[in-house]
Structure 1
Amino acid sequence: MAGTIFMRIIALFVVIGGLDKITGNHLKLGKEFEKGFLMLGDLALCMTGILCLTPALVERFRPWMIKTGRFLDPSFFSVFLSADMGGFSLAQGIAAAEETGVLNGLVTASMLGCTLVYIIPAGYGIIREEEKEPFSQGMLIGTLTIPAGTLAAGIVMRMPGMLLLKMVFPVFCIAVVIAVGLAKIPDRMVRGCILFGKLITALATIGLIPAAVTHLTGYVVIPGMLPITEAMEIVCGCGIILLGAYPFLKALTRVMKGMLHRLALWMHVDDTSMDCLVFALANAVPVFTEMKKMNRKGVVLNGAWMVPVSAVFGDFLAYAANVAPRYLSAMIVGKLTAGVLALLAVGFVMRRE
């Protein structure tokens, strides 16, 4: 129900953004309408090949992954991939049940997997040297709140208590390991995540090539791959949702401007830091580029916030609405719960700054 209402709000902003573009962009929402749809190219490049390749990989490695079922749900392996870059597709193919696949492959993977595959490699590649230490501190705090987000999503999904605890415990263990790694050996952690991110990007291209060749020639290069047209249907569905998601977030920023300013004063951070909390709901890249304008506490705050929350109303909203609309509200609640806890934790840790 909540997911349906939210999608109708997005549809309303598709109309508003489209009309504003036609009439001269007077509300500045037409530009966001266009920006959202132009994201389609980047999404297609990073998602299509992975979506095509995942079924073939699942078929190859399924027996080995299923052997872990005595200790872990097999879909746990998906939490190391971003949900929209193979995490959910992998979970669907090996999960013991639909709900466990959603919790690991959609909810947790959109936080933990996204951090490993995207936020750490992209963030350290964009921000300046002097911002890396507070950014790492923020990510450490944000990573530790991921299990709470998984727990909140599981409660929304009405999963049985013991099963939910069994799902959350390994996530907690991995989150602690990553947090300790960021605290003790940050350089090695960053290098490892950059290498992992490059591997996933390479897999996306590797998957795209045989999928395109099969579509163009009819010759099956890799048996078991998803047809490229079916993968593109998912990607195009994401692009349609982003048509309205970007104008919605732009309007939300304007409406909340006064409140964000008051929050900035209360939390002893600058206005840029508070604005970027809203930007992160759509995409993390604008936050990275704006960190040079933030004070130290603002960098920590945004580093913690984006780990669980990144793109909750952007790419992940679009992806979840296309592949698992029944669980859209669970994903949103899970990511936002962890995000709010991350902000509170930063406030507690840095209460004297």
Structure 2
Amino acid sequence: MVNYYNMNRYSTKALLGLAIILLVACVPAKEFRALQDKHQKSEAERERFSDENQALNVKNSELDSKVKVAQADVDRLLADSLRLSQEFKGLSEEHNGLKKRYADLELAQNSLLNSSVSETKKLLKQLQENQVELQRREDALRELERRLNQRKHDLDKLQSDLVTMQTDLESRNARLLELERILSRKDSVVIALRKKVSDALLGFEGKGLTVTVHNGKVYVSLEEKLLFKSGSWEVDPKGADAIKKLADVLAVNSDINVMIEGHTDDVPYNGKDQIIDNWDLSVKRATSIVRIILQNKKVDPKRVLASGRSQFLPVDAAKTSEARQKNRRTEIILTPKLDELLDILDNK
């Protein structure tokens, strides 16, 4: 079983970054709220899918256990029914024998009417005893027949329940297999997307740019030196060239959502103008990247989301110049759309 949509390590703080974007008015408020709602829905639906997948595995295990118990009950009832049928057959044969003896005794009684009184009484007593025994056997036979009918009713109900459980189990298994198929296809899409991005940015990898896959997403991480001068949000021409090449990939892959995250180190921002602190700087850098991507008119702006993280999501928490250099970065996160998976979950 594949791992179904582990929660992204950025999802909890994404809303905070998005709220800052609105406060600094980097994008119009109405457009921002729409992007924010879409992002929240995507994250909630991914969590919902993970929970649904776990619940399906638990339900499948429970149904398998119930099927085994029901099958054992069916086998036991079949054995009991066979035994009772054999007992019923034996009693029927014994009952027929008693009826024959009774008829013989009645015949003998008629033939002995003229015999001695003592002999007649003896025959009458034997006849009465046989009648009592016959009645007892008939009562036992009726009780056995009643029990057999009850067992048959119980067996029919168990078999009906078993068929229902098996049908439900098959339906759930089919749905689970469909989810696995779509997830496998989604993983293939992510791998193919990573290759397309790597091929497009081949000349930049190892020069301040890395392309990785994590939690079903493609991460394009660009160091500050490739994009910006210290304290600036104006994109360097070489970095802009890398962003444009990435935009070309996004233009022909319309089923990919894009999030741009700006990150700074923990050194307080000392610039001027409209930038106040590292929050402002990280958001400003993210929106600068968005504008370059949207120069490609084939990229739908509805697919793109800008976010500032300031210094609060470092890749290296050390207080060294090397760690701070790693933390000053911009990450472009590419996520395949989950519409097909969400349709299956909505139609459960």
The reply to whether TM is greater than 0.5 is: no
Larger strand fraction of residues:
2
> Which structure: greater helix fraction?
1
Larger Rg: 2
Of structures 1 and 2, the one scoring higher in RCO (CA 8 A, sep 6+) is 1
- Shorter-chain TM-score tier: under 0.3
Query: TM (normalized to structure 2)?
Result: 0.24
